[in-house]
Amino acid sequence: MNRSFRTLPALAFPILLFFSLAPLSPAQAGSLIDKGRKIAQEGNDLPGSTACMECHRLHGGGMPSIGSPRIAGQPRQYIEHEILGVKAGTRYAPIMAGIVNNLSEKDIQAVAAWYASVRTPKLRDVSPYDPDLVKLGKRIALKGQWKKNVPACVLCHGPQGRGIPPHFPYIKGQNKGYILRQLISFAFLKRSDDPQGLMRGIARRLSPTERKAVAEYFASLTPPPADGQPDRPSSGKDPR
Ligand code: HEC
Ligand code: HEC
């Protein structure tokens, strides 16, 4: 075999790496989003593949009744990080674990680009929010519980919990069952994908009532539609 031909695969890797790091042109980003939409809608054609929309809906509104989170408009890097964590076993997500195993790196980038780009109004939560818990939750969210070494949630999750891309997810407008379960997961189960264990420590130091209160507070707000754009009022309509 010709020598230069044999070195081709060795050369291809750095070249591919270069292209994957290079910023995407609008056309490339568009085709990535289209590919992601297809995976969200139909899966990726491999055996065992399940369409994300079965649980997250095509437009990312989630399913409050089964505690499946909204993912519409979460930062692209955060979505990728969560899927990679589920694959690696650091992100506790028992229902999803089998589903993302067959996604390639490109599939993950594509489906993350799709869900980061979609905008969906808030879906109706499973039950009305308790005003007393919302009040307590708001206080913790905005001021923290410094006696217990719990910082204000908004310090990391942005004003009202609207997220700070690329690493801090939004939590405002997320469904309450999901938020509460994440806090329990960080505190006691196996969600250990947070940098330096920051969320694990915070979730552990909150009491059960306080965890419930912050979940009710953040869930009672409207979700952020897009980076830096003003919030849209929630219509409560099912967007699918
Ligand atoms: C069978 C239902 C189901 C399917 C199908 C599914 N998910 Fe999930 N997903 C869940 C549940 C439930 C959670 C929350 C896990 C937990 O409790 O921590 C989740 C969590 C996530 C999260 C983390 C969200 C966050 O805010 O941290 C992302 C991202 C995600 N899913 C993306 C996907 C993508 C992309 C697909 C398709 C390839 C997919 N999911 C398919 C049920 C599903
Ligand atoms: C020091 C920074 C920091 C503070 C303060 C903080 N968080 Fe977080 N939080 C994070 C990071 C980082 C993540 C994402 C972890 C990951 O990458 O999976 C996160 C994730 C979460 C999630 C999971 C989101 C999802 O979509 O799955 C919830 C819920 C949450 N935080 C709630 C809270 C609440 C409630 C408070 C206040 C009591 C709070 N956080 C304070 C850094 C922080």
Q: Within 13 Å of residue 58, how many CA atoms lie on the same side as its CB?
A: 9
pTM equals: 0.86
* Closest residue by CA, ligand 2 atom 26: 169
For the chain, the structural domain boundaries read 25-117, 131-219
How far is residue 159 CA from its own chain's centroid?
Answer: 18
Q: Which ligand is nearest to the CA of 165?
A: 2
Q: Could you give the 3-state DSSP secondary structure of residue 68?
A: strand
Least-confidence region, from 132-141, 164-173, 213-222: 164-173
Pocket test residue of 55, 86, 87, 176 for ligand 1, highest count of atoms within 8 A of CB: 55
Atom number of ligand 1 nearest to Cα 182: 18
- Report the length, in residues, of the chain: 240
User: What's the pLDDT tens digit per position in 150-167?
Assistant: 999 999 999 999 999 888
Question: What is 131-219's CATH number, 3.40.50.720, 1.10.760.10, 4.10.220.20, 1.20.1630.10?
Answer: 1.10.760.10
- Asked if domains 25-117 and 131-219 share a fold, the reply is yes
Higher pLDDT, 155 or 19: 155
Least-confidence region, from 40-49, 124-133, 149-158: 40-49
Name the residue type at position 50.
T
d(CA 109, CA 68): 21
Mean pLDDT of 23-37: 84
In this prediction, residue 171 carries a pLDDT of: 96
Look at residue 3 and tell me whether its pLDDT is greater than 50: no
Name the residue type at position 93.
A
Tell which CATH architecture fits domain 25-117: Orthogonal Bundle (1.10)
Look at residue 149 and tell me whether its pLDDT is greater than 80: yes
In this prediction, residue 62 carries a pLDDT of: 94
Tokens of 237: 């309509």
Angle between helices 105-117 and 26-42 (to 10 degrees): 100
User: What's the pLDDT tens digit per position in 69-92?
Assistant: 999 999 999 999 999 999 888 888
CA of 87 to the centre of ligand 2 (A): 20
Look at residue 180 and tell me whether its pLDDT is greater than 60: yes
Buried b (16+ CB within 10 A) or exposed e, 184-217: bbbbeeebebbeeeebbebbeebeeebbbbbbbb
In this prediction, residue 23 carries a pLDDT of: 62
Residues lining ligand 1, CB < 6 A?
Answer: 39, 50, 52, 54-56, 67-69, 71, 74, 79, 82-83, 92-93, 95-96, 99-100, 103, 111, 169, 181, 185
In this prediction, residue 108 carries a pLDDT of: 95
Q: Which ligand is nearest to the CA of 166?
A: 2
Q: Residue 5: pLDDT band by 50, 70, 90 thresholds?
A: very low
